[in-house]
Amino acid sequence: MRLMIVGSLNGQISTAGKIAIARGAKVAHCEDIEQALGALRAGRGADLMMVDVKQNISILMDNLSAERFVIPVVACGIDNDTAAAVKAIKAGAKEYIPLPPDAELIAAVLQAVTEESSAMIAGDPAMKAVLQIADRIAPSDASVLITGESGTGKEVMSRYIHQKSKRAGGPFISLNCAAIPENLLESELFGHEKGAFTGAIARRIGKFEEANGGTLLLDEVTEMHPSLQAKLLRAIQERIIDRVGGTSPVKIDIRLIATSNRDMEAAVRAGQFREDLYFRLNVVNIELPSLSERPGDILPLAKMFADKYSEQNGIAPKKISEAAAEKLRAHRWPGNVRELENTLHRAILVSMEAEIEAGAIMLSGQKASLAAQAAQNTSSAQAAQNTSSAQAAQTAAPAQAAAAAAPAVAAGGGNGNGGLVGRTVADVERDLILNTLEHCLGNRTHAANILGISIRTLRNKLKEYGEAGLAIPGSGA
């Protein structure tokens, strides 16, 4: 992976860089944000940025967004400065690493960025067959078209092919064609010269040049406008590109992988996608099965995600109970692997038993809120305890039985989680939202993702809580 370190960090930067290099990263160093942005514009990209908290991380994040650089940022600072960490997270940094750097912590951050780059779970026969094809074609330079439903892991498969190819030492560059406005996509692909159009403040190297010597992934290529498809076809055929506003062609050396969740032959028949480009991309076609078509991988994937999010959230690893496993196996998974990952992330956060219980598995199509599900999770344990108390009390006088049962209800079941029985759903939902936001150091986007709700819904809830006089973690951000 490519790591860019920004800032001086009072001499600690060389130590952090050496640790990263020892872990297999290619490290570049920039003195400040402006130098870092210049390097990115020049095509010296990065998979991760480690930035001194003394730099203006807020301005960096704004520039990355404005110039469409999608790079995770990790803030670093001398010692454990809580205020600096919170400020960096609010600005958009993914993590905060105290310095002097700890080798295992640096390694964990690098692994978090690259953990899915080449790891594939393929125990089901349907997926094994697909992986065999990928292994056979990976060493070649043939263009690959990966198709399948949304959430089936097309980008993960693309990275797998890159890691198995002779270009594994080169960059892997990904561009989501559906996420870039039509009038900017040409510049993203081919780059531009300074002054080529309004807003072109400096020369910008495009994805084709940035991927030189490596692999370029065009995600959701069918969303590309037909007028741009002709230029893409020329780039594939002739292995040269023209920057927007440029005067001379630029040679490129890449391996191209494209993905789509649409029926591409239908798109060709409808005139939405060029037939000649389709055949250029479709030298090898890898069609990924939906998760429901590879049922043997559901539980291994679930276990992987459960372990991943237990570690990320500082929670002791949990097994998946048989009841929860049965619930996972029975679901149709319209969102495929992505839906499964989100489901296990939520389950780890709300599970309150030694194993992940069925009540913690919140599936799409269910109308129950997070809080209602959390309340349901404790109802079984509460009922069991109340039943036990009642049985013991049957041998006593009715008054004694009532006196024995009351404390059990008032105590909330003694489950170590503050008790949910006797509380309203609104109260439990409020606590879940605020605790999750606090866990995310006030980062509302991260909290909304964990909770499985939209950022708008989260903001409305927080506004409601704020108006009620409650303290909102990270308020004022």
Domain identity same for 180 and 94? no
DSSP state, residue 231: H
pLDDT in tens, 387-416: 444 444 444 443 343 333 333 333 333 343
Contact between 216 and 256 (Cβ < 8 Å): yes
26 vs 172: CA distance, rounded Å: 13
pLDDT (average), residues 53-74: 88
283 vs 182, more confident: 283
Q: Which of residues 82, 114, 146 is at a domain's end?
A: 114
426-441: burial string, b at 16+ Cβ within 10 Å, e else: eebbbebbbebbebbb
Look at residue 342 and tell me if it is in a domain: yes
Look at residue 375 and tell me if it is in a domain: no
Contact between 426 and 465 (Cβ < 8 Å): no
Domain identity same for 274 and 324? no
Place of tokens 């951050």: 109
**Residue 174's pLDDT is what?**
92
pLDDT (average), residues 205-229: 93
β-strand pairing of 240-241 with 250-251: antiparallel
Q: What is the CATH number of the domain that holds 338?
A: 1.10.8.60
Which tokens hold the place of 368? 């129950």
Contact between 257 and 143 (Cβ < 8 Å): yes
Domain identity same for 139 and 229? yes
Which tokens hold the place of 233? 């076809």
258 vs 236: CA distance, rounded Å: 12
Domain identity same for 159 and 199? yes
Which tokens hold the place of 29? 């160093």
Q: Which of residues 62, 89, 114 is at a domain's end?
A: 114
Instruction: Name the pLDDT band for 79 (thresholds 50, 70, 90).
Output: low
pLDDT (average), residues 157-177: 92
- Host domain of residue 93: 2-114
pLDDT (average), residues 429-446: 80
Contact between 191 and 204 (Cβ < 8 Å): yes
Kindly tell me if the per-residue pLDDT of 278 is higher than 50: yes
Instruction: Name the pLDDT band for 54 (thresholds 50, 70, 90).
Output: confident
Look at residue 419 and tell me if it is in a domain: no
394 vs 224, more confident: 224
Instruction: Name the pLDDT band for 114 (thresholds 50, 70, 90).
Output: low
Average pLDDT, the chain: 82
**Residue 211's pLDDT is what?**
94
**Residue 444's pLDDT is what?**
78
Q: What is the CATH number of the domain that holds 280?
A: 3.40.50.300
**Residue 113's pLDDT is what?**
64
**Residue 2's pLDDT is what?**
85
Kindly tell me if the per-residue pLDDT of 199 is higher than 70: yes
401 vs 397: CA distance, rounded Å: 6
Kindly tell me if the per-residue pLDDT of 432 is higher than 80: yes
Contact between 257 and 218 (Cβ < 8 Å): yes
Domain identity same for 150 and 267? yes
Domain identity same for 65 and 156? no
Domain identity same for 281 and 296? no
Domain identity same for 52 and 152? no
**Residue 368's pLDDT is what?**
45
Domain identity same for 52 and 146? no
Look at residue 54 and tell me if it is in a domain: yes
71 vs 3: CA distance, rounded Å: 10
Backbone angles phi, psi at 395, to 5 degrees: -85, -10
Domain identity same for 253 and 131? yes
pLDDT in tens, 237-254: 999 999 999 888 999 999
Q: Can you spell out the DSSP letters for 33-83?
A: HHHHHHHHHTT---SEEEEETTS-HHHHHHHHHHTT----EEEEEEB--HH
Long-range Cβ contact pairs of 33-39 (< 8 A, separation 24 or more) = 33/6, 33/59, 33/60, 33/63, 35/6, 36/4, 36/6, 36/60, 37/63, 37/67, 38/202, 39/4
Q: Across-strand partners of 186?
A: none
287 vs 285: CA distance, rounded Å: 6
Domain identity same for 74 and 213? no
pLDDT in tens, 438-471: 777 677 777 777 787 877 788 788 888 887 878 8
